[in-house]
Amino acid sequence: MRSAALALMMPLLFALGCAGLQNSSASPVAPTPRVRILGIAQDGGVPHAGCSCDTCTAAHADPAKRFHVASLAIIIPTDDADPRTNDVYLIDATPDITEQLHMLRDVRDAPEGRTDRAPVAGVFLTHAHMGHYTGLAHFGFESMHTQTTPVWCTERMGGFLRRFGPWSQLVEKNEIEPRTLTPGEPVELGAGVTVTPILVPHRAEFTDTCAFVIRGPSTTVFYMPDCNPWNRWTAPIDEVLAGEGTDVALLDATFYSLDELPGRSLSEIGHPPIVTTMDTLQSMSDAGLDVRFVHLNHTNPALDAGSAEQREIERRGFAVAREGAEIGL
């Protein structure tokens, strides 16, 4: 009887197990270092300010169709016996940081009934464009009033934070502590995980721009939400990814194609369109590289899970990243 019952239950158990691999809300059986995707949208998010396109209109009407601004969390277990005892690091502090911190409450033993003054163990910043650092304002006196939260960034980015308000006030009040990253030099987080900054070409009005290579005991994740088109790189992106030993690449996918943004020139905005990225990395994807797209503009039709564009992405072996999904390190 037990064997027969077990046989009947096996398909259900298998299905539940597969669902658990894709569902970030399911806690791992044992605490493991991992990254969690907290957002996949371009700096303006979805819905986008001042926009009445079909995507933004639907997102205003249905919260399930909203997308947070691109960000990652790195989750480092500090107690093997307690899945809620972790150090949590953010890559980028976005305008959606309030909701994104709430998305991490299941992996932190945060204080109940009051404001958490130490919501993360640190922040890594890619650059000083709107969607990537303005969430730091919530670390300030008017909001969480954190104490000496480490903020890893390039020397130029650190100078920007120290010189210009309101960011300089965060430094003066010891709410954040800028720490200088050196390109190519890893920062150790524990549990065999390191984060290494890589300078990448992108608009540099205020600061330079980093991608981050997140190396764990078994997996290397390359995270790059913003960059110039591939033909403006001095080193081909496939060589960069191969040189870093990348297993999972989370890449800038602001636009699906070059005819997407009426009234604005994509050549002056400067991002690699998804169609070009797929052509460039098709052989690496076919050979096993896991490429997922992040930082999608509200105009990008690939945001729609039912679109022909997302079906084409999946047909070719690529994917649009999913908010809440985890990647084990």
Is 5 a member of any domain? no
Is residue 23 pLDDT above 90, yes or no? Answer: no
Please, what sign has the CA dihedral across residues 214, 222, 251, 282?
negative
Looking at the domain assignment, is residue 55 inside a domain? yes
Q: Tell me the pLDDT tens digit for each residue of 63-74.
A: 999 999 999 999
Residue 20: band (very low, low, confident or very high) from pLDDT cuts 50, 70, 90 = very low
pLDDT, one tens digit per residue, over 286-322 is: 999 999 999 999 999 999 999 999 999 999 999 999 9
pLDDT of 269 over the 70 cut: no
| Residue 98, both tokens | 């309030």
User: For residue 1, what pLDDT is reported?
Assistant: 36
**Domain total in the chain:** 1
Q: In this structure, is residue 21 part of a structural domain?
A: no
| 16 part of a folded domain | no
The pLDDT of residue 18 is above 60: no
Condensed to tens digits (0 to 9), the pLDDT of residues 148-193 reads: 999 999 999 999 999 999 999 999 999 999 999 999 999 999 999 9
CATH number at residue 107: 3.60.15.10
Contact 165, 76 (CB under 8 A): no
Terminal Cα-to-Cα distance of the chain (whole angstroms): 40
Q: Is residue 81 part of a domain?
A: yes
CA quadruple 309, 317, 89, 208: dihedral sign: negative
Per-residue pLDDT tens digits for 70-125: 999 999 998 877 777 899 999 999 999 999 999 999 998 888 899 989 999 999 99
Q: Is residue 166 part of a domain?
A: yes
Residue 303: inside a domain, yes or no? yes
Burial class (CB in 10 A: 0-12, 13-18, 19+), 283: exposed
pLDDT tens readout for residues 26-74: 444 457 999 999 999 999 999 999 999 999 999 999 999 999 999 999 9
Q: Does residue 215 belong to any structural domain of this protein?
A: yes
Question: What per-residue confidence (pLDDT) applies to 191?
Answer: 95
Q: What are phi and psi of 134, to 5 degrees?
A: -70, -20
| Closest alpha carbon to 291 in 280, 306, 299 | 280
Task: Print the domain residue range for 36.
Answer: 29-328
Q: Could you tell me the pTM of the whole model?
A: 0.88
